A and B are shown apart, each in its own frame.
Chain A
Amino acid sequence: MGTPHSSVVLAAVEPQKLREVAELLKEELTKKIFGAVPTISEITGNGSAQEIVREILFLLEKNGMIAASADEPVYSAEEEEKIRKRLEDLGYL
């Protein structure tokens, strides 16, 4: 299956940071994603390697390529009410 995201583009990352970024990224992605390597073209490359990694992860999450942090609520208040009503209607609650 071809996907729109078939290569990693780390635009404007300073060369000296690239190795460090790549190592951190590899570690994070190995934990979070399978095979589908994303295109990342919005990275500024400013800041420390850790900051760049955080920026990359934010973009991955925003594009639905990795799960959001477990700490974030899954539903908005409106969505939660919709699910509660659905489950009540279906007899589960």
Chain B
Amino acid sequence: MSEKKVLIIGLDCATPQLVFDAWAARLPAISSLMNRGSYGLLRSCVPPITVPAWSCMMSGKNPGRLGCYGFRNRSDHSYEGMTFATSRAIKEDRVWDILSRAGKKVILVGVPQTYPPAPVNGLMVTCFLTPDTSCQYTYPKELATEIQEQVGHYLLDVDDYRTENKEQILSQIYEMTEKRFAIFKHFLETRPWDFAMMVEMGIDRMHHGFWKYMDPEHPKYEAGSKFENAIFNYYKYIDDRIAELLSVIDEHTVVMIVSDHGARATKGGFCINEWLRQEGYLSLSEEPAQPVPIGKAKIDWPKTIAWGEGGYYSRLFLNVKGREPQGFIEPENYESVRSELIKKLEATRDENGGLIGTRVFRPEDVYDEINGVAPDLIVYFGNLAWRSIGSVGLGIIHAFENDMGPDDANHAEDGIFIMYDPEQPAGALRKREGLAITDIAPTVLKLLGMAVPADMEGKALR
């Protein structure tokens, strides 16, 4: 029986331009793995968002197959039925389900879309979709007591993130990270395991909160800020924590460091629903007195063709007769309306009239199977340089403040992949090309001597 183990350190939003290019020489633990193993860009799913990306990674399946297109998904074609994508939204096996059934021992800490926890052959600490630690956030349930004893109050995420009090955010992020790594290390040292995985959210929170202080290209760059090195210092802190984890694993352990997507500076916000109103696609029965989220706006459905969701990308939904309760578009016109919208969205411009390079996807063009209720269109404004602002009543198309508060960064399509296999000599495969997020699950299974299910779309990396 193979003694091989697999350890995955997931760093949500870890960015190749920073890890591989800018700072590798100053991140000794990470660069040691890169130099002794292999690394490359890891292309995320469409959309490159935490949910569904980590589940795509660990199931080897795209969002269409998972029927999960974002943090909230339409449960039906009504106008109200948006449900959160918890662990129960994932009906497909993730790696730990397969390994558990095969009798392999697993340790999971903080992997998105694991709340509410489900039984595994080992243990699980859930993710930031857990309301708080008064809920059952571990499997088995008793594990919560041990966590409390080891690290005190466990932080699932940062509270009150939309604040200008950056010191407070920093403090919380460091506390969260310290505890997550500490408890994960504790489990590595005290439990038998074949597969162990943790996901740290801190890098994502740092990027969104501190990017403008670091990047001279950012529209709101603040030269000489005391937070200028906040992101680098945090990456260095993470590198030190990784070094501690590496000190407790044995010579049979394959180590992967992965991220679900990258990051880039936010240029601004594109007010999708205000734009739809301006173009005649969305009608309100009552003008809001102040900006309100689209879900709280009084939409004149019989006169509405399309509406959109806000976030790091946009999802557009069409109001189709016979499908939506008060549909507007005749089914036979669905495709022509969609094509017209794609053409107009791809031609969207910035506040100075310059094309922003918006990309628009039809779900059927990017997924080989579509389950659940997919958006009719998926939109990356400015190829993700602009976020989507869903509120109405703003009276503008281009916003330079997020409708929810400050946010310096958006997501980018490429995350990081680093793998060190002690049994694979370094050299020929050092820089890898063409890696996809769905490659991780089959790679883990193959490393652990398991058959890769035929319906996993990724490839097992050697």
Query: Which residue numbers of A lie inside 8 Å of B, CB to CB?
Result: 1, 3-4, 32-36, 63-68, 70, 74-75, 79-80, 82-84, 86-93
Instruction: Tell me if B142 and A91 are in contact (CB < 8 A).
Output: no
Chain B, residue nearest A80 (CB)? B84
B184-210 CB contact bits vs A (8 Å, 1 = yes)?
A: 000000111000000000000100100
Chain A, residue nearest B405 (CB)? A89
Instruction: Judge whether B121 is part of the interface by a CB distance below 8 angstroms.
Output: yes
Instruction: Tell me if A92 and B311 are in contact (CB < 8 A).
Output: yes
Interface residue stretch chosen among B131-139, B223-231, B234-242: B131-139
Query: Which residue numbers of B lie inside 8 Å of A, CB to CB?
Result: 49-51, 70-72, 84, 86, 88, 100-101, 103, 115-122, 128-129, 131-132, 135-136, 139-142, 157-162, 190-192, 205, 208, 309-312, 387, 390, 402, 404-405, 407
Closest-CB distance, A37 to chain B (whole angstroms): 12
Q: How far is B72's CA from A80's CA once the two chains are assembled, in angstroms?
A: 11
Instruction: Tell me if A64 and B160 are in contact (CB < 8 A).
Output: no
Specify which of A4, A64, A83, A91 is in contact with B131 (CB 8 Å cutoff). A83
Specify which of B141, B158, B312 is in contact with A92 (CB 8 Å cutoff). B312
Interface of B is mostly: loop
Q: How far is B161's CA from A83's CA once the two chains are assembled, in angstroms?
A: 13
Chain B, residue nearest A78 (CB)? B131
Chain A, residue nearest B191 (CB)? A1
What residues of chain B lie closer than 8 Å to A74, measured between beta carbons?
84, 86, 88, 115-116
A-B contact pairs, 15 of them (CB 8 A): A32-B119, A34-B122, A36-B140, A64-B117, A65-B141, A67-B119, A75-B86, A86-B128, A86-B159, A89-B405, A92-B70, A92-B71, A92-B311, A93-B71, A93-B311
Beyond A1-B191, A91-B387, A93-B309, 17 additional contacts (C-beta under 8 Å) are A33-B119, A34-B122, A35-B103, A36-B119, A36-B140, A64-B141, A65-B141, A67-B119, A74-B84, A74-B116, A83-B84, A87-B72, A91-B402, A91-B407, A92-B49, A92-B70, A92-B71
Closest-CB distance, B313 to chain A (whole angstroms): 10
Q: How far is B342's CA from A86's CA once the two chains are assembled, in angstroms?
A: 31
Instruction: Tell me if A90 and B119 are in contact (CB < 8 A).
Output: no
Q: How far is B132's CA from A21's CA once the two chains are assembled, in angstroms?
A: 37
Chain A, residue nearest B156 (CB)? A86
Interface of A is mostly: loop
Closest-CB distance, A84 to chain B (whole angstroms): 8
What residues of chain B lie closer than 8 Å to A3, measured between beta carbons?
140, 142
What residues of chain B lie closer than 8 Å to A68, measured between beta carbons?
116
Instruction: Tell me if B119 and A75 are in contact (CB < 8 A).
Output: no
What residues of chain B lie closer than 8 Å to A84, measured between beta carbons?
84
Closest-CB distance, B205 to chain A (whole angstroms): 7
Closest-CB distance, A58 to chain B (whole angstroms): 15
Q: How far is B120's CA from A3's CA once the two chains are assembled, in angstroms?
A: 14
Closest-CB distance, A70 to chain B (whole angstroms): 5
What residues of chain B lie closer than 8 Å to A4, measured between beta carbons?
142
Specify which of A34, A75, A82 is in contact with B101 (CB 8 Å cutoff). A34
Instruction: Tell me if B160 and A89 are in contact (CB < 8 A).
Output: yes
Instruction: Tell me if B129 and A83 are in contact (CB < 8 A).
Output: yes
What residues of chain B lie closer than 8 Å to A34, measured between beta carbons?
100-101, 119-122
Instruction: Tell me if A64 and B136 are in contact (CB < 8 A).
Output: yes
Instruction: Tell me if B140 and A75 are in contact (CB < 8 A).
Output: no
Instruction: Tell me if B131 and A79 are in contact (CB < 8 A).
Output: yes
Instruction: Tell me if B84 and A91 are in contact (CB < 8 A).
Output: no
Q: How far is B208's CA from A70's CA once the two chains are assembled, in angstroms?
A: 34
